[in-house]
Structure 1
Amino acid sequence: MVDEATALAMAGATTVVAAMATTAWDSTRDAVVRMFRSRETAEQHTVQGQLTAHDHLVRQTEDTEQVRQILLPVWGQQLETFLSRHPDAAGDLSALIARTRNELPRAEQAWVVQNITASAPRSTAFGTIHGNVIQHNHYGSPTEATSAETAPEGESEDEAEGDDGARTPEGSA
């Protein structure tokens, strides 16, 4: 299950990456640098350099969508790591997201992804509006179900799938 900090980090990443190469970029970059500076002074110059380099990549390519899709998990991880060390920054990141989304040009507002996550034991479903699903966390290997666990109710383990995928009693396929 995706926790609140991970969802906030991905929303922040989506917003920051969408702002690259737009009129909202300078204020967004400055807000991200201020957020890091207030908590991690040693990281501030590294983050500022990354932001500048990534904005340059988006500006220099013809396929900005592809570059943004590549940068999205990078910034998702960067912000998730930052929030794990500084949970008190969640409010600052939320404010940055709201402010930046209002400043984005119309085309980039449509690019900002709305993430939808639902989960149940041993499963998670992801959906998105106006974008691709990017899953970057792996919380462990799913356990393999035994044939008794996977057999539909009322069917025995002796029943098997036929060549066409239909379940048939063993020996009659």
Structure 2
Amino acid sequence: MPAEALMALAGAGATALIGAMATDAWQGARGGIVRLFGRDNQGRGAVVAAQLDEDAALVGRADPAEEDHVREDLVPVWRRRLVVLLEEQPEAEEDLRGLVERVRGGLPDERRTWVQHNTARDNGTLFAVQGGSLHYHRAPGDGPSAPPRPERGEPEEGTERA
């Protein structure tokens, strides 16, 4: 599976899993993830079950004003764990896709989508992404504070034409 597709699936899985915590969809989501991780190693499934229970307790104990922040903190952790699972067990891809669809279908409406607000101010540049990675590269000298590059055929500043 290409890296982008792997990250997207793991992100969808993590988002659905964390969205299900403290909802009626939680037990199905939890059981599906434990089965995925425990396919080849039942001990690993038990460890994942304990991690899930601990994280669900964090969400359950969170003040309503902080609950979304707790969930946001947990998504990258579970995305990374799911990436590792898919790298180790590529055959788990279809099972994870099916689990994501079942969990999403059982989520309350307010947990089916995530909203992200981004603001750039004072000549700032904003790059945002949900459930994936963003790679941005700037060449030296590029950007708003860099002097303009000479047009083709013009000598660079400090040099003369021959």
In the TM superposition, residue 144 of structure 1 has moved relative to its aligned partner by 4.3
What percent identity do the matched residue pairs reach? 32
Instruction: State the Cα RMSD in Å.
Output: 3.3
Q: TM-score, normalised by structure 1?
A: 0.69
Higher relative contact order (CA 8 A, sep 6+): 2
| Aligned residue in 1 for 2:49 | 48
Aligned pair partner of 2:78 in 75, 86, 92: 75
CA distance 1:46–1:87, shift in 2 (3 Å): same
Task: Indicate conservation of the 8 Å contact 1:21/1:59, yes or no.
Answer: yes
Structure 1: runs of 5 or more not aligned: 114-124, 128-132, 160-168
CA distance 1:41–1:152, shift in 2 (3 Å): farther
In the TM superposition, residue 153 of structure 1 has moved relative to its aligned partner by 4.7
Task: Indicate conservation of the 8 Å contact 2:13/2:96, yes or no.
Answer: yes
Task: Indicate conservation of the 8 Å contact 1:15/1:101, yes or no.
Answer: yes
Matches within 5 A, 1:121-132: 127=129
Q: TM-score, normalised by structure 2?
A: 0.73
CA distance 1:143–1:110, shift in 2 (3 Å): closer
| Aligned residue in 1 for 2:61 | 60
Structure 2: runs of 5 or more not aligned: 117-126, 143-147
C-alpha separation in 1, matches of 2:12 and 2:155: 45
User: Higher strand proportion, which one?
Assistant: 1
In the TM superposition, residue 158 of structure 1 has moved relative to its aligned partner by 3.3
4+ residue segments displaced more than 6 Å: none
Task: Indicate conservation of the 8 Å contact 1:18/1:112, yes or no.
Answer: no
